């Protein structure tokens, strides 16, 4: 056992909690069963030969007439891409990696039939063998890159090339898929092949770094490379694999987080979360294996706790406390912004069709990765707050992310009222769909989410079993001769029935079993009870760790755990009158009526990302006006009188509430958010007293937002060297960089540098404007603005208003607009380029728009 006394605050390393093997868990909850079956059908619809096209082509192997699947999985060659494009913006290989992981999860879990598992195993075998063959062939053709997995040429590292973005990010998914296969693959052969391929790739990483030591590997998104490589090290014990992992440890970031410095504003959320998963994975891998731990120096042993683990814990708490919406997810336009500004982020970034604006809160990938981090933290600490967050986000973000008809998943889940959830398309011909697949990141994490629905229901430590989530399911424990059956329908019914039986009825339990039941923060603690026969315990009997623990010496034993839900309102920290309603663990939402718009209608933002279109008429229905005699505060103070439950716990109807006591909004119906499909919806509602200053302000803001949407043609407010800029087909000089300042991201370049974006214009508008956002901290710095290749002006950053952000407006000349129709950039699109003057560094650009009119 590791003897580091710093670990005494946590579970000892030989008693870290382990997720119950999915092969021992059977999901009986009807909703989870349905979701898992949809996912299995989707996984079975893929052809591994098409998934391997780019790997084989890059390795010089024949591909026949096969094409790749397109979208983010496009390659550089038009004849291999379903859409016929050459060198499109892409993330080649990322989805293949997620598919590997999902196949393993589906093969391990118990939902798939034996016939389905046989077919899934065949696809997994073909894919792993194909990746290994491509790896070998590429290494023979390029000995200096032996071990590289050729989704694209190794020369694209680390920043991408020829339309390919974030190569290490894409490679991480493939590596993680191989590590997952090495860990839980269905056959010994496939596990061995995957381990060899992953090990060779780790060796490549070390060799590549030695040959490129001056290159900053970490400046471009690299996913969870450190986590996957540390997991590989845990399997092999090869210190060179740990060294490869450590190359991706962003120690300066970890140090700031360990010091509890809030560095989140301006960071790309789903770039950052995996870094901390990697930090905590290093901590776990070294502390749970003394052979590995004592290979470290004393300094590195100490850093495990005070740097890596502390950074992960502090980061998690910052995200939860200051950046998380009520459904458990975070971010707007893929980024963290100012702390405690949820209302501002969700409602003040524009509502025009397309691009990233109010349509882009709560990226589903972020929830996926926050749950991975949370799971690790729970395993290390056993702390109930991690279990609480896990179930909450699983119920309200993950389960909401899947279309219950098609099995497809969301990218964003807008928190501004007046949007609907938008789902992807299969791209495989599943269910007769002929739409071209897009294969975003959230579709990749999505296939994993619904292939592994049972992986975190139960956690085990020897004879201790922790019930992490309340869903109907069974867990078998052969070593204890025990079977645990849970029957739950929370929060519709308050009672959870738990039965502990003997697996072999003729034999007693092999030893006593301790069952730990979380006391949820969302429950009425005065009414919580655990009943076994004539004996009842209450929450008053709980220890300080928020778990009720009962010892079971033999079965059968029936337990009744009663956890009545409490109804509460959850307000945004920056607007107490922007509230959501929560009943127990479930976030409620309301369908917003409108006959003018179509739910599910979408435009595009980023790289082929489907983003929901806004309905102003639906949004107007989300304003709740209390009846005379009530202010928003007093209306909320008697919530049980105004949000009325109208279903019966024992009927077969969905959980249903009705709003009362309102002059506007009275009678609106609320259901669980995750179950509200194909509707414009409100999760958060605006409350205002009739004819009050707040009411008039809401009306004014709505009018301003509508005016902004009318005048805005195109905009880019995030500079990430990634999806947001790629959606505007950015191009940059070698010295161009991105960063963040005062919570705002920016793009800049050297004195002779440049960068450009493709933006839409409106030839039918009487005038078109170009708006550029600068900050007065750069006063005196200049840039030459060119549109369509012609210089139209030189801008100098103003010194006023002091220390503030402001917009500069340029009128686009008609002759420049005429170029838009003559280009091949897209409908009415021009290239806007900012160039250095050769004098000073270019000013930082914080935003760029094209407008039909200037704001008043």
pLDDT, tens digit (0-9, with 9 covering 90-100), for 641-659: 999 999 999 999 999 999 9
Of 617, 618, 638, the residue nearest 627 (C-alpha): 638
Q: What is the pLDDT of residues 682-692, one digit of tens each?
A: 999 999 999 89
* Model pLDDT, residue 2: 31
Question: At residue 847, does pLDDT exceed 90?
Answer: yes
Q: Give percent of the chain with pLDDT exceeding 70.
A: 97
Total-model pTM: 0.95
Residue-level pLDDT at 11: 66
Mean pLDDT over 496-516 rounds to 95
Tokens of 385: 């707050």
- What is the distance between the alpha carbons of residues 208 and 91, in angstroms, rounded to a whole number? 21
In order of their start, the domains of the chain are 712-851 (2.60.120.260)
pLDDT score recorded for residue 185: 98
Asked if the model's pLDDT at residue 111 lies above 80, the reply is: yes
Average pLDDT over residues 8-21: 77
pLDDT of residue 10: 56
Mean pLDDT, the chain, as a whole number? 95
Residue 122: how many other CB atoms lie within 10 Å: 11
Q: Answer whether residue 69 shows pLDDT above 60.
A: yes
Note the pLDDT of residue 800: 84
Q: Please, which pLDDT band fits residue 822 given cuts at 50, 70 and 90?
A: low
| Euclidean distance between the first and the last CA atom of the chain, given in angstroms as a whole number | 69
pLDDT band at 856 (very low <50, low <70, confident <90, very high): confident
Q: What confidence tens digit (pLDDT) does each residue in 367-411 have?
A: 999 999 999 999 999 999 999 999 999 999 999 999 999 999 999
Band of residue 787 on the pLDDT scale cut at 50, 70, 90 = very high
Please give the pLDDT value at position 640. 97
Does pLDDT of 4 surpass 60?
no
Residue 743 pLDDT > 90: no
| Rounded Cα gap, residues 499 and 803, in angstroms | 65
Q: Would you say 162 and 76 are in contact if contact means Cβ atoms under 8 Å apart?
A: yes
pLDDT of residue 691: 87
Q: In the predicted model, what is the mean pLDDT of residues 142-157? A: 99
pLDDT-derived band at 825 (thresholds 50, 70, 90) equals low
**Mean pLDDT in residue range 79-102:** 97
Location of structure tokens 């096969």: 66
Q: For the residues 274-284, what does the mean pLDDT come to?
A: 98
The pLDDT value recorded for residue 543 is 66
Report residue 653 as tokens: 């109807």
pLDDT at 244 over 80: yes
Token pair belonging to 644: 């009325």
Q: What is the 3-state secondary structure (H, E, C) of 382-447?
A: CCHHHHHHHHHHHHHHHHHHECCCCCCEECECCCCCCECCCECCCCCCHHHCCCCCCCCHHHHHHH
Query: Residue 8: pLDDT band by 50, 70, 90 thresholds?
Result: very low
How confident is the model at residue 701, as a pLDDT? 87
Average pLDDT over residues 799-809: 87
Query: What CA–CA distances, in Å, run from 483 to 26, 284, 479, 499, 504?
Result: 11, 29, 10, 8, 9
Q: For residues 469 and 457, is the Cβ–Cβ distance under 8 A? A: yes
Burial of 313 (0-12, 13-18, 19+ CB in 10 A): buried
311-321 pLDDT, tens digit per residue, is: 999 999 999 99
- For 698-739, how does the pLDDT look when each residue is reduced to its tens digit (9 = 90+)? 898 888 888 998 999 999 999 988 888 998 999 999 999 999
Paired strand residues for 530? 537, 561
Q: What is the pLDDT of residue 59?
A: 99
In whole angstroms, what is the distance from residue 126 CA to residue 52 CA? 9
Cα–Cα distances (Å) from 117 to 106, 123, 452, in that order, read: 8, 10, 14
CA 685-686-689 angle, to 5 degrees, is: 135
Per-residue model confidence (pLDDT) at position 539: 82
- pLDDT average, residue stretch 157-178: 97
């Amino acid at each position: 056992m590791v003897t580091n006394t710093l670990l005494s605050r946590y579970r000892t390393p030989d008693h870290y909690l382990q997720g119950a093997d999915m092969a021992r868990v059977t999901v009986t909850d009807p909703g989870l069963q349905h979701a898992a079956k949809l996912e299995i059908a989707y996984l079975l619809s893929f052809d591994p030969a098409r998934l391997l096209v780019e790997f084989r082509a890059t390795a010089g192997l024949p591909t026949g007439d096969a094409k790749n699947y397109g979208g983010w999985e496009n390659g550089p060659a038009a004849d291999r891409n379903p859409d016929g494009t050459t060198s499109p913006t892409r993330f080649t290989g990322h989805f293949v990696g997620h598919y590997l992981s999902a196949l393993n999860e589906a093969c391990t879990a118990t939902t798939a039939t034996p016939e389905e598992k046989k077919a899934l195993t065949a696809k997994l075998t073909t894919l792993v063998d194909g990746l290994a063959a491509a790896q070998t062939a590429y290494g023979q053709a390029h000995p200096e890159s032996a071990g590289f997995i050729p989704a694209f040429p190794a020369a694209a590292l680390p920043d991408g090339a020829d339309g390919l973005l974030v190569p290490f990010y894409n490679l991480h998914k493939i590596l993680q898929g191989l590590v997952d296969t090495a860990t839980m693959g269905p056959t010994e052969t496939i596990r061995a092949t995957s381990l060899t391929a992953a090990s060779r790739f780790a060796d490549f990483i070390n060799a590549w770094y030695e040959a490129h030591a001056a290159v900053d590997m970490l400046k471009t998104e690299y996913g969870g490379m450190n986590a996957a490589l540390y997991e590989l090290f845990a399997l092999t014990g090869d210190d060179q694999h740990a060294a490869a992992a450590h190359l991706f440890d962003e120690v300066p970031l970890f140090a700031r987080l360990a010091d509890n410095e809030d560095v989140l504003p301006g960071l790309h959320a789903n770039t950052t979360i995996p870094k901390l998963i990697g930090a905590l994975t290093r901590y776990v891998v070294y502390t749970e294996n003394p052979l590995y731990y004592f290979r470290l120096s004393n300094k590195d042993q100490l850093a495990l706790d005070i740097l890596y683990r502390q950074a992960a814990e502090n980061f998690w708490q910052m995200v939860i406390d200051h950046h998380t919406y009520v459904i458990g997810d975070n971010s707007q336009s893929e980024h963290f912004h100012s702390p405690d500004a949820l209302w501002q982020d969700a409602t003040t970034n524009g509502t025009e069709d397309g691009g990233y604006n109010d349509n882009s809160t709560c990226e589903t990938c972020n929830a996926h990765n926050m749950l991975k981090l949370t799971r690790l933290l729970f395993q290390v600490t056993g702390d109930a707050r991690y279990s609480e967050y896990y179930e909450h986000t699983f119920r309200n973000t993950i389960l909401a992310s899947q279309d219950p008809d098609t099995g497809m998943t969301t990218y964003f889940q807008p928190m501004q009222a007046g949007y609907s959830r938008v789902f992807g398309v299969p791209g495989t011909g599943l269910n007769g769909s002929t739409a071209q697949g897009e294969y975003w990141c959230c579709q990749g994490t999505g296939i994993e989410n619904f292939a592994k629905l049972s992986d975190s229901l139960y956690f085990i430590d020897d004879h201790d079993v922790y019930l992490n989530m309340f869903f109907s399911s069974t867990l078998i424990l052969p070593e204890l001769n025990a079977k645990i059956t849970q029957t739950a329908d929370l929060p519709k019914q308050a009672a959870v029935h738990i039965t502990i039986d003997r697996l072999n009825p003729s034999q007693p339990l092999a030893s006593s079993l301790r069952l730990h039941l979380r006391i949820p923060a969302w429950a009425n603690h005065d009414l919580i009870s655990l009943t076994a026969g004539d004996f009842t315990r209450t929450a008053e009997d709980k220890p300080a760790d928020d778990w009720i623990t009962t010892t079971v010496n033999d079965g059968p034993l029936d337990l009744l755990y009663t956890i009545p839900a409490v109804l509460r309102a959850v307000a945004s920290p920056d607007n107490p009158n922007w509230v959501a309603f929560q009943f127990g663990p479930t976030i409620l939402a309301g369908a917003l009526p409108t006959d003018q718009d179509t739910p599910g209608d979408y435009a595009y933002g980023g790289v082929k990302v489907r983003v929901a279109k806004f309905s102003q008429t639906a949004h107007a229905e989300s304003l709740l006006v209390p009846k005379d005699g009530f202010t928003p505060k007093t209306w909320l103070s008697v919530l049980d009188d105004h949000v009325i439950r109208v279903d019966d716990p024992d009927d077969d109807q969905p959980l249903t509430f009705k709003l009362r006591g309102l002059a506007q909004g009275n009678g609106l119906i609320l259901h669980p958010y995750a179950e509200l499909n194909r509707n414009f919806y409100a999760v958060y509602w605006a409350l205002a007293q009739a004819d009050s200053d707040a009411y008039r302000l809401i009306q004014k803001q709505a009018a301003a937002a509508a005016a902004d949407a009318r005048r805005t043609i195109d905009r880019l407010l995030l500079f990430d060297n990634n999806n947001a800029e790629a959606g505007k087909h950015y191009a940059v000089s070698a010295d161009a960089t991105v960063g963040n300042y005062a919570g705002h991201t920016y793009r800049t370049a050297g004195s002779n540098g440049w960068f450009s974006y493709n933006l839409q214009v409106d030839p039918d508008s009487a005038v078109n404007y170009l708006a550029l956002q600068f900050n007065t901290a750069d006063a005196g710095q200049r840039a030459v603005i060119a549109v369509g290749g012609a210089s139209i002006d030189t801008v100098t950053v103003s010194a006023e208003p002091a220390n503030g952000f402001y917009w500069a407006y340029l009128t686009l000349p008609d002759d420049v607009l005429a170029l838009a129709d003559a280009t091949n950039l897209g409908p009415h699109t021009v290239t806007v380029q900012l160039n250095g003057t050769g004098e000073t560094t270019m000013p930082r650009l914080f935003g760029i728009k094209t407008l039909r009119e200037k704001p008043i």
